[in-house]
Every structure is written in C-alpha cells, then in structure tokens.
Amino acid sequence: MDTPNLPPPLDPREQPVLQSLRVLRDQLTLLKQDRTTYVKSSDVMPLYDKVVEQVKLLNEIRADKPTEDNQVDRVLDGCFQLLSLFFMTIGRNNEAPAAYALTSTIKRLLDHLVEVDIYSEKDLAHISQTLERLREMVKAASSSHSENFITLLSNRIEVCQRSLVTLNTRLARLSDEIMPTYEKLISILRSLSLANTKSKFSATEVQKLQAQLKEIDAQRKEGKFVTVNGEVLAGDHEVSELLTKGIYWANMVLERKGVCPEPFREKYQTLVEIRNKLEKLSLTQAWSLRETDLYDYQRQLDRIDESRIDGNFVDSEGNFAELYVQRTLLYLIRRSYAYIYFLMIASEPVSEALLPVYNQLQTLKRCLLEVQNSGGLNSLDNMRVDGKFMVGKEIPEGQGSVIELLSECFELNYELRVAAEQETDD
C-alpha cells in the first residue's frame, strides 16, 4: 500500500494516529473487497467520521508544524481515497468527500501535462469545468462537513487550479491561426503512442501517421509556419518543435516496432495490462464498475510513477531508461490516469443497489428515444403502400415478418398506454 520513501512520524503523539488510520484503512479495504452485498451509507459514514476525528487530532498535534509530511499522511491519503470512491459507490457523488479521489487524479494528469508540455485546449477545458464543479460542491458542503476536511479539499483544488493556470499561459503563446495545426500534431503524437503499445504492431498504421506529419511539414515556408502574407505566426517555434518531436517519434516507433527492452519489460506489461483493463471498464462502465475498484489501479500507477528518479524510469540495476522506453511508459501511465478520470466523471449519483434498475431504465429510454426520433410507429406504418413496404418500385421479401413485428409493437404500445391510464385512475 505504502511508498516507503516517506519517513515515520518523529512526534510520538502521531504514532497512535498512525495506528488508528491503518486499522481504518484495513476496514475500508475489506469493505471494498466484499462483493456479497451492496455497499450502503450505513457502512461508510461511521468509518468516514472516525477518519475525520483522526484528522482533527493530527491537526492539533501539528498546530506548530502544518507542513509535516510522513507516513501518517500517506495512510490518511489512502483512507480518503477509499472513502471518496465509496461515496461515489453509494451514489453520493455530489457531496464533498467524493471530490477527494478526483482531485488526486486531476493533480496527476496536470503534473504530467506540465512535464511533457504536450496537451490541447480540450484537455484543459474539461478539467477546468470539473474543478469549477468541485469548487462549488465543496463550497456548498462547508456547513455539513468537518472544517478541517473542507480546508484540505479546498487546498487540493487550488493546487490543481494553479497548475491549470500555468498550462493555459503556455497555450496563450499560440495564435488562433496556428492552433488547428497544433491540435492536429497532438492528435498524431497520441495516435503514434497508441499504435506503439498495441498488442499487434501495425507498421502501415504508423506510416499513415508519418505521412500526415510530412503533409504538415510541407505547409511550412522556409521552415516556418506563416500567414498568407508571409508573416511568421505566433507559436511557430513551439509548433515546429512539436512537429520535429512527432517526426522523430514516428521514426523511432517504426524502428522499434513496439518491442520494449527486457530490463523494463515487466513494468511495461504491467502498465499495458492496467491500461487495457481500464479501457474495457470505460466501455462497460455502467454495468460492471464499482468505483472502489479504481483504488487498486490508482495505487499501482502511483507506485510506478513515484518510483522514477528525477523523472526517469530505472531498471533493477539503477540504469536510466532510454528515450524510447521513457516515452512509452509515460504514455501508458498518462493514458491510464485519463481513463480513471473519465470513469470517475461518468459515475452516476445512484447507489450501487439501484444501478441495475437505473441501467435498465437508461437502456429503455434510449430505445424509446430512437422510436421518437424516427417518427414513432405511425411514421413506420405510413411507409406502407397498399399495405406493403416498398423499396422504390420493388416489393422486397419478408413483408409478412415485418408487418407482424409492426403489429406486435402497436399492441405493446397500446397495452403500455392502457396500463398507464389505469394506474393514473387508481
């Protein structure tokens, strides 16, 4: 669970707090692992109150040293991560504790964007909207949750906001005219990294992306991105640099064909497996995700991310990873954090116990909307000519089956309307 680079508490008064938090984290972990029943508010709230009580004690101990950071903080973070995901699981997504895990993931994403300086306006816009929503959520909860916890959450949101401002400032260097080219290059770079980490490497796919880079390069005049009047566009240096990175990366990916060197193979396989599982969850999220499942993925990623030395991955002998490995592993980590972020955002404010009903209603709603958008049953019936469905002047085979199905739909529609009217009368 823990990353061992944090020291134990020096103040002996923190030791009981550490032990209590470890017990609470273990209880939360056991609750997370129990699939025999649905998680309820009555399971979560007593544990939440006990963790907040430990925060109060810790703040009293650290009144004169508020910036202390040791193993107590790591275990406390684990407790709040789990509690936050439990709040989502029980459908209390709009309450302040649910924001904690999301702020952690946003912080990771922003740190990586600052590190690589490769991101788009869309990336920042979505995160900005989410932070604003979290800020409003925390503000509204100030009277119903511990002051210490609200302060902690507010500080985490503001840390993310400062990173966001820095990133937006970088993007402001680019003119509106050059921005579409920049966005296209971002998309190509990400597509190259995806192709590089697929189970079956496709040289053709990479070559097509390489051709797009050459097309963008051909748009330059004497190595510069210019206006129709020949003036160098604001942001030319940044976009030209990004283009150079893209061409270099495409050549490297083609050369290496998605093969990670042996010293980093295990770490690579672990990250690919995490990415693939999260991708699968993103496709089946409504039916298969318990939000607390994200905790284990998050912690695995955190451990790998934090194992870097001065930003570099190292092998078992302490050797730094070469550029190809560095870029490949960082892409997988960033992609996985992005999946976790969107899975949290997509979480519905519905208790786990009600999710099966909610999901069935969502499916039914989509079906009804399809019928509505296509003009309903009457519009289908009106397509008939002399009782037959025509395609041009032809009468295709299967008229009987289609007409029988249409009749059954009319009958079901009638029965539902009668049932609804009877319930209204009752």
Give CA–CA dist 291/91, Å, rounded. 10
C-alpha distance from residue 322 to each of 4, 87, 202, 313 (Å): 26, 42, 23, 9
| Sign of the CA dihedral running 181, 184, 188, 194 | positive
Give CA–CA dist 334/344, Å, rounded. 15
Enter the tokens of residue 57.
């004690």
C-alpha distance from residue 222 to each of 119, 178, 182, 230, 240 (Å): 26, 16, 18, 10, 12
Choose among 10, 14, 97: nearest CA to 59: 14
Name 348's bridge partners.
none
The DSSP H or E segment spanning 356 is helix 355-373
pLDDT tens, residue order, the chain (426 aa): 444 467 888 889 999 999 999 999 999 999 999 988 889 999 999 999 999 999 989 988 988 876 778 899 999 999 999 999 999 999 999 999 999 999 999 999 999 998 988 899 999 999 999 999 999 999 888 777 888 888 889 999 999 999 999 999 989 989 999 999 999 999 999 999 999 999 999 999 999 999 999 999 999 999 999 998 889 999 999 999 999 999 999 999 999 999 999 999 999 999 999 999 999 998 877 667 889 999 999 999 999 999 999 999 999 999 999 999 999 999 999 999 999 999 999 988 888 888 888 888 888 788 877 776 666 677 778 888 888 888 888 888 888 888 888 888 888 878 877 887 887 777
Give CA–CA dist 218/212, Å, rounded. 10
Q: If you write DSSP's letter for every residue of 173-222 in order, what string do you get?
A: TS-TTTHHHHHHHHHHHHHHHHHHTSSS--HHHHHHHHHHHHHHHHT-BT
Greatest alpha-carbon span in the chain: 90
Question: Tokens 């129709």 map to which residue?
Answer: 228
Helix axes 179-196, 236-256, angle to 10 degrees: 20
SS3 content of the chain, % helix, strand, coil (to 5): 70, 5, 25
Helix axes 323-346, 236-256, angle to 10 degrees: 110
- The pTM of this model reads 0.85
What residue spans define the domains of the chain? Answer: 179-256, 374-425
What is the Cα 3 distance to its own chain's centre? 23
**Burial track 96-111 (b if 16+ CB lie within 10 A, e otherwise):** bbbbbbbbbbbbbbbe
